[in-house]
Amino acid sequence: MKYKKNIGGEMEVSLNDFGKVSKNNVWPDFNSRPHIKCDTGRSALSLALAEWKKSSNGHVWIPEYVCPSMIFTISALGIPFKFYQDLPGAANFFAPPKPEANDLVIFIHYFGKVNNNVLQWVSTQINRDWFLLEDCVQSAYSLGVGSYGDYAIFSLRKWWNAPDGSMLVSSKVLDEPKLAPSADYITTKRLMAKIFRFANHDENLHLDWVRHSENKLEYREPRQCSWVSQQLLAGIELIPNLEQRIKNWLLLQNKFATKKLRGINPLYFQLIKGEIPLVYPVLIDHDMRDNLHQWLADHHIYCSIHWKLDTGVSIEAQKLSSKILSIPIDQRYNTEDMKRVFESIVNFTRQTNYE
Ligand SMILES: Cc1ncc(COP(=O)(O)O)c(C=O)c1O
């Protein structure tokens, strides 16, 4: 069988990625606002919660459409939370939270898009006496994000090949946190998986190591960013990589606009200037999402599902979760790769008489 380049999946590391120093800084800066570097988005979240708890006994408000790891982190800390309705891509599925004094409202900038529903509502809350946390994990580089909340969290490992790397930014001075040292059963294992993938060496072992290291991320004390990730992040050329993401996103946008595929639609129809996409999310009707997911994997195209949600959230959130698929558009891929992804989706619709 003709070898096909993998599209999507774990970001590879090669030995050439070490020892470089780029002129850009991939760590968001925000005019030098107080910040703490740590290992994962959930560590950044638990640091933010610890800061907030110093002056509050209130509730946390979280959107129904949320990464389950966040619910896990909040629950593990014994903090009471309530849901409010916010679904990515659907203007009429936003029902603002009703925070009381000192509560903490968390909102998410989904998939690289700035969450204007929430920002417009926040702009009407002139004398708010509650706290706001912006989850920028999926939108680290979109213009303006991270500057509205009392806290903002980032997870750079979603954007680059570093096994870990995340950040909490705050509008107020932060106490020096006690961060546990980086754990090699998480970061070294992940690093080796990435090196194996780059070298096309033992696919099963690489997948096992990714799974093991990801499972170890369940709630535990926040850790420092590993040395290896700091090295990798220091060598990344920011601008051309972000430009490639935009280019790939726009190419798929154009393909989906030109050729209508019955039952498969983009979640977003446009990218606003300044937005840097994480992935290209599509919605698939008729319970066919899992079939398309598998079909693409059979063609070496590996998509994520953000996120698998079931009980505990609204029917709308569950429906969205059952239809969504995130198509990879990151800096590893070029125009030919994006064309191949689209053609594979078209072939899927033909094979299933969907066209
Ligand atoms: C919106 C959002 N917030 C937080 C997290 C947690 O980040 P991490 O996996 O680095 O802990 C994720 C993970 O996918 C996420 O998508």
Q: What is the pLDDT of residues 133-150, one digit of tens each?
A: 999 999 999 999 999 999
- Name which residue leads in pLDDT, 251 or 29: 251
Helix (H) or strand (E) holding 104: strand 104-108
Please identify, among 233, 253, 268, the residue that sits at the C-terminal boundary of a domain.
Answer: 233
Pocket lining: 251 vs ligand 1, CB cutoff 6 Å:
no
pTM over 0.85: yes
Looking at the predicted structure, is the pLDDT value of residue 202 above 90? Answer: no
Looking at the predicted structure, is the pLDDT value of residue 326 above 50? Answer: yes
Contact 60, 74 (CB under 8 A): yes
Which of 11-14's residues contact partners 24+ apart within 8 Å by CB, and which partners? 11/160, 11/161, 11/194, 11/330, 11/332, 12/161, 12/194, 12/195, 12/197, 12/198, 12/332, 13/161, 13/191, 13/194, 13/195, 13/198, 13/232, 14/195, 14/198
Looking at the predicted structure, is the pLDDT value of residue 298 above 90? Answer: yes
Pocket lining: 213 vs ligand 1, CB cutoff 6 Å:
no
> Same domain, yes or no, for 122 and 53?
yes
Tokens of residue 144, six digits? 């303006």
Please identify, among 215, 233, 251, the residue that sits at the C-terminal boundary of a domain.
Answer: 233
Confidence class of residue 184 from pLDDT cuts 50, 70 and 90? confident
Alpha-carbon torsion angle 349, 337, 161, 275, nearest 10: -80
Please identify, among 210, 233, 256, the residue that sits at the C-terminal boundary of a domain.
Answer: 233
∠83-85-91 over CA atoms, to 5°? 160
> Same domain, yes or no, for 333 and 210?
no
Average pLDDT of the residues of the chain: 93
> Same domain, yes or no, for 18 and 158?
yes
Cα–chain-centroid distance for residue 346? 26
Those residues with Cβ within 8 angstroms of residue 192's Cβ, 6 or more apart along the chain or in another chain: 209
Mean pLDDT throughout 13-28?
93
Going from the Cα of 296 to the center of ligand 1, the distance in angstroms, rounded, reads 24
Task: Tell the residue nearest (CA) to atom 4 of ligand 1.
Answer: 41
Pocket lining: 108 vs ligand 1, CB cutoff 6 Å:
yes
In-domain check, residue 46: yes
Helix (H) or strand (E) holding 108: strand 104-108
Contact 256, 265 (CB under 8 A): yes
Looking at the predicted structure, is the pLDDT value of residue 42 above 70? Answer: yes
∠57-62-63 over CA atoms, to 5°? 165
Pocket lining: 69 vs ligand 1, CB cutoff 6 Å:
yes
Alpha-carbon torsion angle 242, 116, 87, 243, nearest 10: -10
**Least confident segment among 28-42, 47-61, 235-249:** 28-42
Mean pLDDT throughout 11-24?
94
Peptide bond before 307: cis, by omega within 30 degrees of 0? yes
Tokens of residue 221, six digits? 């004390």
Mean pLDDT throughout 298-321?
92
Quote the pLDDT of residue 353: 66
Those residues with Cβ within 8 angstroms of residue 305's Cβ, 6 or more apart along the chain or in another chain: 289, 293, 321, 324, 325, 326
Looking at the predicted structure, is the pLDDT value of residue 354 above 70? Answer: no
Confidence class of residue 226 from pLDDT cuts 50, 70 and 90? very high
> Same domain, yes or no, for 142 and 242?
no
Looking at the predicted structure, is the pLDDT value of residue 219 above 70? Answer: no
> Same domain, yes or no, for 214 and 255?
no
- The ligand 1 atom nearest the CA atom of 217: 11
Domain of residue 327: give its range. Answer: 238-351
**Least confident segment among 26-30, 233-237, 263-267:** 26-30
Q: What share of the chain has pLDDT > 70, as a percent? A: 98
Quote the pLDDT of residue 352: 81
Pocket lining: 145 vs ligand 1, CB cutoff 6 Å:
no
Looking at the predicted structure, is the pLDDT value of residue 3 above 70? Answer: no
CA distance 325 to 305: 5
**Least confident segment among 33-37, 75-79, 274-278, 313-317:** 313-317
Q: What is the pLDDT of residues 55-70, one digit of tens each?
A: 998 999 999 999 999 9
For position 287, which CATH number holds? 3.90.1150.10
Quote the pLDDT of residue 1: 45
Pocket lining: 142 vs ligand 1, CB cutoff 6 Å:
no
Mean pLDDT throughout 87-104?
91
The count of domains in the chain is 2
> Same domain, yes or no, for 179 and 260?
no
For position 148, which CATH number holds? 3.40.640
> Same domain, yes or no, for 247 and 221?
no
Task: Tell the residue nearest (CA) to atom 13 of ligand 1.
Answer: 67
Q: What share of the chain has pLDDT > 90, as a percent? A: 83
> Same domain, yes or no, for 292 and 243?
yes
Pocket lining: 155 vs ligand 1, CB cutoff 6 Å:
yes
Going from the Cα of 69 to the center of ligand 1, the distance in angstroms, rounded, reads 7
